[in-house]
Amino acid sequence: MIAIEQLIGMSLGYAKSVLERESVAYVVEKTESKSRFFICDPTLVYVIRVRRKANVVYLLVNESLKRSDSVRKAMERRYNS
């Protein structure tokens, strides 16, 4: 059995395949970033927290964050000056 801590940082698809291969029951719980400086990419979902309760693994997932245009422009100005 994989140590569930190893699932942190994995893509959701890969984490699910690992658990399914080992016949481990799991539940996916989703959280959402409220940052106005970063936008979420719904095509890239990653495990950010795991816990086990009564032989079920709970995966807390979040969409990958990308810099917003305003953050990208500010960083470009900073590094190009």
Q: In the chain, which ranges are continuous DSSP H helix?
A: 12-21, 69-80
pLDDT, tens digit, 9 for 90 and up, residues 6-63: 999 999 999 999 999 999 999 999 998 777 677 778 888 999 999 999 999 999 999 8
SS3 39: strand
Instruction: Output the pTM of the full model.
Output: 0.75
CB half-sphere exposure, 14, CA atoms < 13 A: 12
CA-to-CA dists, residue 34 to 4, 31, 75, 76, 80, angstroms: 27, 10, 21, 24, 29
β-bridge mates for residue 41, sequence order: 64
